[in-house]
Amino acid sequence: MSTTTVTKATTESTTTTTGYAFGYRRVSSVQQDYARQTAALVEAGIDPARIFEDKLTGKTMDRPGFNAMLAQLRPGDVVVVSSLDRFGRTTTGILSTIDELTEHGVSIKSLKPGESFDGITGRLILTVLAAIAEWERANTAERAADARAARKAQGIKATRTKSALTAENIDTVTRLRASGSTIAAIVAKTGMSRASVYRALDA
């Protein structure tokens, strides 16, 4: 198996760390295929053996391919995608994935022009993404609160459900994420699965 490596300068010094380059591809329906994403990743020099994939349908955010890749990633590695929207359905989901990879010391590279995280433009992109994600989280929390108020006004009592995506859990996850909690911290605090936390953020 061939090895594709990337070199990334550290912010602390002029030394560099060398890691592996991984590719991630995702489609949103069973009718779609990975052909274009795969071609772009291979052309960018990614070893096909290090390309992971997910095919998400409906509202699910279970990502076995991403989780398998995450288990192999080490600090200094880089994850390459054809475009940032491969990381999630919403800005909140995309930013949560970027944050999770960053927490692991992993860099992100998008092959789509204009989506570089280098320099001033890169910082601007992340700032804009964060602002939009905060707006999405606030809207989600507001909708959940409105739904609870409407049920209460109609005399409808809250019922327990087997699903982790209750209005209360969505509200809790949204507030924790908005306060800066990591995905791992939210999982530990709520007892929800990582997939449920992502679904709550995308609700």
How far are the Cα atoms of 6, 13, 196, 202 from residue 66, in angstroms, in the given order?
20, 31, 15, 16
Residues 6 or more apart whose Cβ sits within 8 Å of residue 137? 92, 174, 177, 178, 201
Strand partners, 51: 23
The alpha carbon dihedral of 25, 116, 43, 36 has a sign of positive
> Which residues sit opposite 108 in a β-bridge?
79
- Pick the catalytic residue: 28, 83, 116, 181? 28
Contact 121, 92 (CB under 8 A): no
- 96 noted as active-site residue: no
Q: Which residues are catalytic?
A: 28
